[in-house]
Amino acid sequence: MKAVFFISLGLLFSVTAAHATHIKGGKITFEHLTGLTYKIILTGYTDESPTMPFGSSASIEFGDGQSEPIYADGSEEGTPIGGGTMKYELEFYHTYTSGGNYLVRYFEVNRNSGVLNMENSGVMPFYIEANIIVDNLYQNSGVRILKDPVHIAYLNQTYHYNPQATDPDGDSISYHLVPPKQGEGVPVAGFTYPNETFSGEGGSEAGGNAYFTIDPVSGDLVWDAPVRAGEYNVAIEFKEWRKTEGGNFQVGSSVLDYQIIVRAAPVEDPELIFPAARGEILMEAENPWETTITAVAANPEDTVVLRLAGSFLLQHPEITPSDSIGGKGSVTVSLSFVSPSTAIRRFHLIASAYIYSSENGTGPSRNKAVYLRSSGYINGFSDLQERTVPVFPNPVADGYFYIGTPLMDGRKVNIKIFAADGRLVYEENVSSFTHQIPVRPQPALSGVYLLQIREGIHFYTSRILFKR
């Protein structure tokens, strides 16, 4: 028995050595060609000088029991994209035999070593997927991600990334943060979101703890702000929604696993003065929300550019004559916005400042962000970033229920229950949550309600039916 055990260890070691660590991230996209035939594009990001190319001794699975080996032998040439990163693109053509829901999967060992927000990344498998819904009536091509995802962030400065995703069919896209995976349905071991990895060391430029979030509508991702240099991996799920007479329904999804590389900030970075503190700012109905944002160059002779982005400007482009202004030394933009009394909205506003020169182009940017919400907005009714949480029993017959997830055990949570008209009917703060403790709203409820749970910056929701 002992001999078999040691032989197994030796085999495992040889396999690990054969697949040297190199993968930084990747994505799967797809394009409908004709009938049941699709082009599938597998993109991989590796160290700039990998010991072997992306796809070595791996296969792509098409979700119908069929797969195709890649046979990477070094003949595939990658493209350097900066940050010590090489990009590989591989195309496959596949015809399905019938309509259905197919999960296209790619698995390879190993990720590159030294990633700080997971365990033993150098021996951690890499896994990505895309969901293709094959339907003759609703033929669909997947999301196109236009901006390569390996990015540089700077210590103690807000980081911003937008994948600039588009949909060739005109479908709506929602954006969701998910853990990187080592296999289907299996997050990488020891994963923490970047703001939680060294959570005891501060972070937010506006004060308080660092936060890491994505706008579910615009795809603007913000980390305010890194406190440790190094490499961090995160993943974004893109869901495609198609509107029909019967409502909106999901027609596909894909996941981008990518790496953020945190470095010391260059000394020539401009100063960005954004008076709005991090968090949600309430825009009172009919009362103007006003702010002034200023970018200042360290050298008064440099040209500094101030750029605004986010779902706020997408919804209200009229509030500023341009989303980007530049000038020598410093530039300022003033915003004034009145929230309509009937609007129930939540917006994301991002300000970026960078130095520009005709010789060197665009320099590193400084970023800050804020959420703006109208007084009628209630998290959970309209925010696609919310995650659902299981509740049992549901319907509730005895006046109490359990929240069926152990992920928040031991953490401080806020529990709220809203009526269908938006009224807050129950609230409880729990200093150390456990999913084994029943929640007993008082007074007794009857009808359909929305449960909202907040843990840190994360929101979880569920709809509950109470019966008497």
The DSSP letter of residue 357 is: E
Residues 6+ apart with CB under 8 A from 386: 379, 380, 452, 459, 460, 461
The tokens of 32 are what? 């409908």
Question: Rounded mean pLDDT of 411-418?
Answer: 85
Which range is most confident: 225-234, 360-369, 406-415, 420-429? 225-234
Question: Rounded mean pLDDT of 349-361?
Answer: 77
Neighbours of 349 (CB within 10 A): 25
Torsion of CA 425, 431, 435, 438, to 10 degrees: -50
The tokens of 8 are what? 């197994």
Distances (CA, A) of 174 to 128, 171, 307, 318, 391: 18, 10, 23, 24, 24
Instruction: Choose the weakest-confidence range: 183-187, 416-420, 441-445.
Output: 416-420
Mean pLDDT of the chain: 79
Distances (CA, A) of 81 to 140, 152, 313: 29, 12, 30
Neighbours of 239 (CB within 10 A): 19
Q: In the predicted model, is pLDDT for residue 163 greater than 70?
A: yes
> Structure pTM?
0.68
Task: Give 291's strand partners.
Answer: 335
Q: What is the pLDDT of residue 8?
A: 30
Q: What is the pLDDT of residue 42?
A: 94
pLDDT in tens, 360-405: 667 767 877 777 766 544 433 333 334 567 888 888 988 899 887 7
- Supply the DSSP string of 186-209, one letter for each residue: EEPTT---HHHHTGGG-B-TTSSB
pLDDT in tens, 32-58: 999 999 999 999 998 887 667 777 778
Structure confidence at residue 245 as a pLDDT band (50, 70, 90): low
Q: What is the pLDDT of residue 341?
A: 55
Which range is most confident: 177-186, 310-319, 425-434? 177-186
d(Cα 457, Cα 62) in Å, to the nearest integer? 36
